[in-house]
Structure 1
Amino acid sequence: MDSVTFLALAGGLALLAWSPAKRHFLSALTGAGLLMALSWMGWKDLAALTVFLPAPYLSARALWGRKDMNPGALVTGVVIWQLFAFVVIKRYAWVDILGWLDHPVAVIGVSYILFRQIHLVVDARFLGHLPFSLTRYIAYILSPWTLVAGPIQRYEAFCHGVENVGPPNTEGLLDGAHRAVNGLLRAFVLAPLFLEPSRVTNLGHPDATWIDFLVVLYGFPAYLYLNFAGYTDLMIGAAKLCGFSNLPENFNHPYLARNTRDFWNRWHISFGVWVKHYVFTPLSTRLIKATEPKWHGLMMVVTVLAAFYVVGAWHGTTLNYVIFGIVQGVGVIASAAFENWRKSFLGRTKAKELNQRPWFQAVCILVTLHYTCLCMILLNSDLDTVMKSFTLFLGSEEGG
């Protein structure tokens, strides 16, 4: 589906939301999601999607509102099955030792689909106060506003948004239009300006200089932010034009973060909340309960690294993404350790005063920014290309 077709689809949904026929909006949203997904698929992709969708729906249906039911085996089985299918569909290079995952299937948005499915299966027992049907399931899982790049919305918020679809007031109309236009400009006009100059392969040219390195270092994070945040703005704006005004915000000035933990509270916010809720919190709780107090600090380190392993693996299928997740986890651990050291060395009061000093905040922002930019080089290309480009660059600089 090209951008013109999507804009026509979004416009059609908005017109329906404003019309007396808005009671059919949920069905239209379901159809739009299916149309958007199928427009990128061949028959093999469609077959894979058909396999990927039923189990979470059927299990959620069986568990819906059943607070008295012990769902352990069912939930575990479905989650394991979905994770297995996800790994097969995504063709994770670092688990494909025997080359069994070499297939042409590509399901658009499968990473976001998986997270919404796990949320439904795990929380189905506590969502009985909300309506649930096959139509709502497909509309939620394949929503055209969140299919490709999020944000990851909880089912409760989705239902609330659907119930409030209708003509927005003047403020909502202007806000939605502004977000959509701003997103279009950022994602499709500004972001591409940074893409080619910031490719890490540019460092492999014989005449590459440290200026080229700085362009890659700062340009690629700029591209990622403008492209990702811009696309999110476009989707939030399109939804607001339908009166669907509660898609979660996904970015909050991430490059002004004061440490790596703060960065992940500002970057891809809905993803961070999901990982915290479904990976970090349950894993840390189990590890803390299973160990003596003297091991609790180590268990928190293990939990952070495990959570950020998921962060890295979810972002991409090659080893460089896993390394990115791990080094981000190390950054979070280092941030917490530095904060604890300040409190023990200076005392809580003086440490708090130091945190509020503008010069200290500026230093923290600069350090975090450069750590983040260096880590994001790992996302610029595959690991071999990154290593080769830097080897050629450093070799040419030494030779020069």
Structure 2
Amino acid sequence: MIPYSDFLFFLIIGILFIPTIILGLLGKSARKYNMLISIIVLALIFGLDMKDFTVNWKSAISILLFTLFQVLLIKGYHTYRMTKNNTQVFIIAVLLAILPLVLVKVLPFFNLHIFGFLGISYITFKAVQLIMETRDGMMKKKQVPISELIYFLLFFPTVSSGPIDRWKRFDKDFQTVPTKDEYRELLLKGINSIFLGFFYKFILAFLLYNKILVFLPNRTYDVLNGLEGHIAYMYIYSLYLFFDFAGYSCFALGVSYIMGIRTPKNFNLPFISRNIKDFWDRWHMSLSFWFRDYVYMRFVFWMMKKKWIKNRYVISYIGYFLLFLLMGVWHGLALHFVVYGLYHAFLIICFDKFERWNKKTKFWKDNKFTHAISIFITFNFVCFGFYIFSGALF
């Protein structure tokens, strides 16, 4: 069963959430019950094939073995870190954590489909995050209960496509029982978010895809005279991608709120971004912030510490290429994903150079007119990036 894909999924979780809502409105803890229904929903997501209502043993076994592997790795490194701090052990732990994801991404390239399941990327990101935060001393508990660790890794509202939460923030919500008034506010926010998700995903995204987008490739050269067809496809695909993914994120946030977890939002009006850096502070924020904090910042810090390159701007630019190349490859090994990542690295570097030059020359002054022009320029560069991402360019 794919989360948030049809009415049946919402019906099931709606029924399961009745005790959660009652307990929350009474100001009582629903943690244990929420953990129980999480097991039920996860079993439906990973164990049930809705096409013929059969058990998907491959997916079920994959998620069980993968979770067991990650939990043992995290607990093992956590125990080790309490007494020692060896960099090589840390690197090995991180590499082992991402190994299953790498295999899932690489093996299909050789036409090998051995294992894999929905959401393996986001669970991997959480596992790597926990290992890194353990090294940084952010996980101060002597021992994190395995049940809480699994609940964080497999939190079903966000398990398939995020947003990616942080352990410290998630654990704080998990340990705190909202008051009646606090839960009532969370419940209303959750319901509003779910309805907004329906509007985004099942109305706007549906209409853009089924009524317009699917017909453009066949009409590009016959009716829309080539270039016009590609331009139309670029803008419509960009809007479709936003409403489809933002709709899913609204569902994830809404369901999380009902469970008492304030999952961070993923989108913040990305199409009114003033520049490409502002865009990545607004688009798929949990993923972009994750890559920024756990890839870019650590790479830059490591390079500055080693002093192999003295120019900090060169280090930063190499970090941008590494960051966006990884983000592109994470989507897949196809050429258009790689080019998409490199394209955004190029945009970030160009803007950084322009920004530093503008601080000296004061060429581009900040006013209402330049603000509007900046949004227009950024929007078009972003849409062209999505056009590359779609694969239509190649």
Fold equivalence (TM over 0.5): yes
Partner of 1:259: 275
Letter of the structure 2 residue corresponding to residue 176 of structure 1: G
Give ranges in structure 1 of 5+ residues lacking alignment: 388-400
Q: 1:36 to 1:132 in 2, by over 3 A?
A: farther
1:195 offset after TM fit, Å? Answer: 1.7
- Match for residue 238 of structure 1 among 245, 251, 255: 255
* Separation in 1, partners of 2:107, 2:220: 27
* Separation in 2, partners of 1:11, 1:90: 34
* Separation in 2, partners of 1:163, 1:256: 37
* Separation in 2, partners of 1:24, 1:315: 35
Q: Secondary structure at the match of 1:64?
A: helix
1:311 corresponds to 2:323: no
- Match for residue 123 of structure 1 among 129, 133, 145: 133
Partner of 1:322: 338
1:3 corresponds to 2:13: no
- Match for residue 238 of structure 2 among 196, 221, 236: 221
Partner of 1:396: none
Residue range with higher mean Cα deviation, 367-376 or 138-147: 138-147
- Cα displacement string for residues 163-189 of structure 1 (whole angstroms, at most 9, x for unaligned residues): 335665443332221111111121122
Partner of 1:395: none
Letter of the structure 1 residue corresponding to residue 246 of structure 2: A
Does the 8 Å contact 1:198/1:217 carry over to 2? no
The share of aligned pairs that are identical, in percent, is 23
1:3 offset after TM fit, Å? Answer: 2.5
Q: Secondary structure at the match of 1:126?
A: coil
Partner of 2:89: 74
Map 1:246-395 to 2 at 5 A.
246-291=262-307, 294-346=310-362, 354-355=365-366, 357-381=367-391, 386-387=393-394
Q: Secondary structure at the match of 1:115?
A: helix
Q: 1:171 to 1:312 in 2, by over 3 A?
A: same
Residue range with higher mean Cα deviation, 204-213 or 299-308: 204-213
* Separation in 2, partners of 1:46, 1:295: 49
Give ranges in structure 2 of 5+ residues lacking alignment: 50-54
Residue range with higher mean Cα deviation, 155-164 or 125-134: 125-134
1:286 offset after TM fit, Å? Answer: 1.4
Letter of the structure 2 residue corresponding to residue 218 of structure 1: Y
Q: 1:13 to 1:75 in 2, by over 3 A?
A: farther
Does the 8 Å contact 2:46/2:63 carry over to 1? no
Letter of the structure 2 residue corresponding to residue 109 of structure 1: G
* Separation in 1, partners of 2:113, 2:259: 39
Letter of the structure 2 residue corresponding to residue 236 of structure 1: L
Does the 8 Å contact 2:201/2:244 carry over to 1? yes
* Separation in 1, partners of 2:60, 2:370: 53
Residue range with higher mean Cα deviation, 109-118 or 131-140: 131-140
Q: 1:163 to 1:25 in 2, by over 3 A?
A: farther
Q: Secondary structure at the match of 2:156?
A: coil
Q: 1:105 to 1:23 in 2, by over 3 A?
A: closer
Letter of the structure 2 residue corresponding to residue 115 of structure 1: F
Map 1:34-53 to 2 at 5 A.
34-39=43-48, 42-53=56-67
1:135 offset after TM fit, Å? Answer: 2.0
Q: 1:193 to 1:104 in 2, by over 3 A?
A: farther
Q: Secondary structure at the match of 2:259?
A: coil
Q: Secondary structure at the match of 2:144?
A: coil
* Separation in 2, partners of 1:141, 1:365: 37
* Separation in 1, partners of 2:278, 2:388: 20
Q: 1:174 to 1:26 in 2, by over 3 A?
A: closer
Does the 8 Å contact 1:320/1:379 carry over to 2? yes
Aligned residues: 372
Q: Secondary structure at the match of 2:213?
A: coil
- Cα displacement string for residues 5-40 of structure 1 (whole angstroms, at most 9, x for unaligned residues): 321343245323233672523532540334323335
Indicate the structure whose relative CO is greater, using CA pairs within 8 Å and at least 6 residues apart. 1
Does the 8 Å contact 2:29/2:177 carry over to 1? no
Does the 8 Å contact 1:48/1:89 carry over to 2? no
Does the 8 Å contact 1:92/1:317 carry over to 2? no
Partner of 2:52: none
The alignment's TM-score, normalised by the length of structure 2, stands at: 0.86
Q: Secondary structure at the match of 1:45?
A: helix
Q: 1:180 to 1:110 in 2, by over 3 A?
A: same
- Match for residue 206 of structure 1 among 208, 213, 222: 222
Does the 8 Å contact 1:320/1:378 carry over to 2? yes
Map 1:50-129 to 2 at 5 A.
50-64=64-78, 66-91=81-106, 96=109, 99=110, 101-103=111-113, 105-124=115-134, 125-129=137-141
Partner of 1:134: 146
The alignment's TM-score, normalised by the length of structure 1, stands at: 0.84
* Separation in 2, partners of 1:293, 1:114: 31
Does the 8 Å contact 2:336/2:390 carry over to 1? no
1:33 corresponds to 2:36: no
- Match for residue 164 of structure 2 among 136, 152, 155: 152
- Match for residue 188 of structure 1 among 195, 202, 218: 202
Letter of the structure 2 residue corresponding to residue 372 of structure 1: V
Q: 1:158 to 1:130 in 2, by over 3 A?
A: farther
* Separation in 2, partners of 1:103, 1:238: 32
* Separation in 2, partners of 1:50, 1:314: 23
1:53 offset after TM fit, Å? Answer: 2.2
1:192 offset after TM fit, Å? Answer: 1.4
1:150 offset after TM fit, Å? Answer: 0.6
